[in-house]
A and B are shown apart, each in its own frame.
Chain A
């Protein structure tokens, strides 16, 4: 066995956080990092740190002797910096002295911040710098990635809503209507009998005389008229409903929980009368009208989206044939 007898400068470099105490627990020497925790003039180590493990508040000299004997780790806490828990390895030296090597463990970050430690406070073999680097780098990368994910989600939401939206009017498009209708049908399926739950109605609407506006005033005027109709329809729906433009001048309302025939007829007539009110576009007074076909989920034991839309279309066709401004029902 080689008896090491190292000069204090070497000890300070190799084990910068070491303390040498005598059998009574008095500090005899300490490395530069340890001194930041245990100032030189404080002689008794037991007055600077309390023992946390193996037994809380154990007498320090006793704890050192035991740890030196078993080789177990000692856990200490500084009185002046209670946030910092220290781990210590203890070795018995000649003359009843102990070598106590301190480490910060998981509390490294706190210790560095509280004690103002620098790279020079750690031995060259210590992984402290790598750990601190990881701590900061990880936080930065996670933050950047979360920013990126938020933007990605926003872009996806935007693309998704664009895919379901009619670019001209901002109403749903055919695809948006299809999704809303599927969801309405799915919720009727939950009920014992499709006809017993609150159900929904499809109100299909086709503009009359719209072609003349397009032909006489041009497409810009036609587009403005479509905007106007979209606005009228938007006023008729609640948040769970859906208003869609599914063709040039064809619109559909999906009204959930609304199947009363008389009330639907009143709604159809009101929408038609609002649409029939004259609108001024490019200094010209324009008048159009609309025909309406209505179908409710009550008509079906097993509602089917394409069947419902076909029937609404057929009802609309009957209105068209009956002349402008009519409301027809699929029976």
Chain B
């Protein structure tokens, strides 16, 4: 698994459950900083799931939600659309956007199909890890755009039923803020 994913998992556990839990989980799962093997992330979260008595996939969903709430990542996600519906339609581009900056992440392809008032984001390969982290991201972004939606995970994707596109005020997204933060003139 990509080292950035490994880092995200570690930061997620430390931020939400404390560094003591992390140390325990890392020891149990045989985590290594330089570990490059494909299944390390899964092993770590399986150990965390045991330690915290929390379903494995729920942790991946929490990880996705936690990531989407981090301001720099929220900003990147907000580049995807003007409103929540637009965001969902454009989410098919997310793997390509990701590949532009992290060519070796191996994110599965996403497809969006509309079925009456339900939008389905189909996740190729159907990895439960990706399915649930995408669901976590979508949940937080619905909130961010101020949209009310029913979101659930299916065996091959994430389903979203949008009840009302603007039931609350969307959080501010200032396109230039990322540049200003760097202090460029």
Shortest CB–CB separation between residue B73 and chain A, in angstroms? 8
CA distance A119 to B82 in the complex (A): 8
- Whether A116 contacts B176 by the Cβ 8 Å rule is yes
Cross-chain contact of B179 among A112, A129, A155 (Cβ < 8 A): A112
Q: Chain B, 137-180, contact with A by CB distance < 8 Å: what is the 0/1 string?
A: 00000000000000000000000000000000000001111111
- Whether B79 contacts A133 by the Cβ 8 Å rule is yes
- Tell me the nearest residue of chain A to B32, going by C-beta: A155
Residues of A with C-beta under 8 A to B7: 144, 147-148
Residues of A with C-beta under 8 A to B180: 113
- Whether A155 contacts B34 by the Cβ 8 Å rule is yes
Q: Does residue A96 face the partner (Cβ distance < 8 Å to B)? A: no
- Whether A113 contacts B76 by the Cβ 8 Å rule is no
List, sorted by A's number, 19 A–B pairs whose CB atoms are closer than 8 Å.
Answer: A113-B180, A113-B184, A117-B175, A120-B82, A133-B79, A134-B100, A134-B101, A137-B100, A137-B101, A138-B101, A139-B182, A140-B72, A141-B101, A141-B102, A144-B4, A147-B7, A148-B3, A148-B4, A152-B34
Shortest CB–CB separation between residue B48 and chain A, in angstroms? 20
6 nearest A-B pairs in the assembled complex, by CB-CB distance? A113-B176, A113-B179, A112-B176, A137-B101, A109-B179, A136-B178
- Tell me the nearest residue of chain A to B82, going by C-beta: A119
Q: Does residue A168 face the partner (Cβ distance < 8 Å to B)? A: no
Shortest CB–CB separation between residue B146 and chain A, in angstroms? 16
CA distance A115 to B182 in the complex (A): 16
Residues of B with C-beta under 8 A to A139: 182
Shortest CB–CB separation between residue A202 and chain B, in angstroms? 36
- Whether A132 contacts B34 by the Cβ 8 Å rule is no
Summarize A's interface: helix, strand, loop or mixed.
helix
- Tell me the nearest residue of chain B to A136, going by C-beta: B178
- Whether A83 contacts B185 by the Cβ 8 Å rule is yes
Q: Does residue A118 face the partner (Cβ distance < 8 Å to B)? A: yes
Q: Does residue A40 face the partner (Cβ distance < 8 Å to B)? A: no
Listed in ascending order, the chain A residues whose CB lies under 8 Å from chain B are: 83, 109-110, 112-120, 129-130, 132-141, 144-145, 147-148, 151-152, 155-156
CA distance A113 to B182 in the complex (A): 11
CA distance A121 to B10 in the complex (A): 39
Q: Does residue B97 face the partner (Cβ distance < 8 Å to A)? A: yes
- Whether B97 contacts A137 by the Cβ 8 Å rule is yes
- Whether B4 contacts A145 by the Cβ 8 Å rule is yes
With a 10 A CB-CB cut-off, give which of B7, B33, B76, B175 has the most chain A CB atoms: B175
- Whether A136 contacts B102 by the Cβ 8 Å rule is no
Residues of B with C-beta under 8 A to A116: 174-176
- Tell me the nearest residue of chain A to B105, going by C-beta: A141
Residues of B with C-beta under 8 A to A134: 100-101
- Whether B76 contacts A133 by the Cβ 8 Å rule is yes
Shortest CB–CB separation between residue B31 and chain A, in angstroms? 12
- Whether A141 contacts B4 by the Cβ 8 Å rule is yes
Residues of A with C-beta under 8 A to B126: none
B57-93 interface with A by 8 A CB criterion: 72-73, 75-76, 79, 82
Q: A119-B82, A140-B72 are in contact. Are A132 and B175 (CB under 8 A)?
A: yes
Residues of A with C-beta under 8 A to B178: 132, 135-136
Q: A133-B97, A136-B72, A141-B101 are in contact. Are A155 and B175 (CB under 8 A)?
A: no
- Tell me the nearest residue of chain B to A138, going by C-beta: B101
Shortest CB–CB separation between residue B93 and chain A, in angstroms? 9
Q: Chain B, 92-114, contact with A by CB distance < 8 Å: what is the 0/1 string?
A: 00000100111000000000000
CA distance A160 to B88 in the complex (A): 49
CA distance A110 to B180 in the complex (A): 8
B1-55 interface with A by 8 A CB criterion: 3-4, 7, 33-34
- Tell me the nearest residue of chain B to A116, going by C-beta: B176
Shortest CB–CB separation between residue A105 and chain B, in angstroms? 15
Residues of A with C-beta under 8 A to B176: 109, 112-117
- Whether B76 contacts A140 by the Cβ 8 Å rule is yes
- Tell me the nearest residue of chain A to B176, going by C-beta: A113
Cross-chain contact of A155 among B33, B97, B101 (Cβ < 8 A): B33
What 8 additional pairs, Cβ within 8 angstroms, besides A109-B179, A141-B102?
A109-B184, A119-B82, A132-B175, A133-B100, A134-B101, A135-B179, A136-B72, A138-B101
